Amino acid sequence: MLTELRVLVTGGAGFVGSHLCERLLQEGYEVLCVDNLYTGTRHNVHHLLSNPRFELLRHDVCFPLYVEVDEIYNLACPASPIHYQLDPVQTTKTSVNGAINMLGLAKRVRAKILQASTSEVYGDPSVHPQAEDYWGNVNPIGPRSCYDEGKRCAETLFFDYHRQHEMPVKVARIFNTYGPRMHPNDGRVVSNFVVQALQNRDITVYGDGSHTRSFCYVDDLVDGLMRLMGTPDEVTGPVNLGNPGEFTIRELADEVIELTGSSSRVIHLPLPADDPRQRRPDISKANELFGWKPTVALREGLSKTITYFERLLRDQLVTAVRPLLHQS
Catalytic residue positions?
A: 147
CA within 13 Å, CB half, 259: 23
Distance CA 194, CA 188 (A): 10
H or E stretch at 115? strand 112-118
Distance of CA 164 to the CA centre of its chain: 28
CB 268 within 8 A of CB 205: yes
- Give the angle subtended at the CA of 142 by the CAs of 39 and 171, to the nearest 5°: 55
Say how many C-beta atoms besides its own lie within 10 A of residue 93's C-beta: 17
Phi, psi of 14 (to 5 degrees): -85, -175
Residue length of the chain: 328
Strands 212-214 and 246-248: antiparallel
